[in-house]
Amino acid sequence: MTRYFTKDHEWIEVDGDAATVGITDYAQSQLGDVVFVEVPDAGRQLSQGGEAAVVESVKAASDVYAPVSGTVTEGNAALSDTPDLVNTSPEADGWFFKLTLSNRSELDGLMDEGAYKEYVSGL
């Protein structure tokens, strides 16, 4: 599996044409304590850069954007009962949704882990 990152602080882990999407540890640390998450329903079509989910914290509400285009196969139902998974495990159990890629070439515009760490260090 290969993991990519966006400048909006989403991560996407790709395995073939399937992918899992969430927000980075940096993003959750900027948000503070997450109190609510709205994930997309299975079957929803997402476009790269389009709004995909919503995360609310004690500080603010933020949109989560689709790193690539595709069809949602599953939203993380655990987040409705335990939204703080986004804080405690943002790049594992706190994932937001899974999708099937519709255009693999969109991955070419994303950062690898090294490039993302360099990007964040400059913020």
pTM, two decimals, is: 0.96
Computed over every residue of the chain, the mean pLDDT equals: 97
Write the single-letter amino acid at 50: G
Sole residue written with tokens 């940096």: 26
Query: Does 32 fall in a domain?
Result: yes
Per-residue model confidence (pLDDT) at position 91: 96
> Total structural domains in the chain?
1
Query: Does 119 fall in a domain?
Result: no
Are 22 and 94 a contacting pair, CB within 8 Å? yes
Domain span holding position 20: 2-104
Query: Does 109 fall in a domain?
Result: no
Residue 92: which CATH number? 2.40.50.100
d(CA 84, CA 98) in angstroms, rounded, equals 19
Query: Does 111 fall in a domain?
Result: no
Per-residue model confidence (pLDDT) at position 74: 98
d(CA 38, CA 51) in angstroms, rounded, equals 11
pLDDT digits (tens, 9 = 90+) for 36-86: 999 999 999 999 999 999 999 999 899 999 999 999 999 999 999 999 999
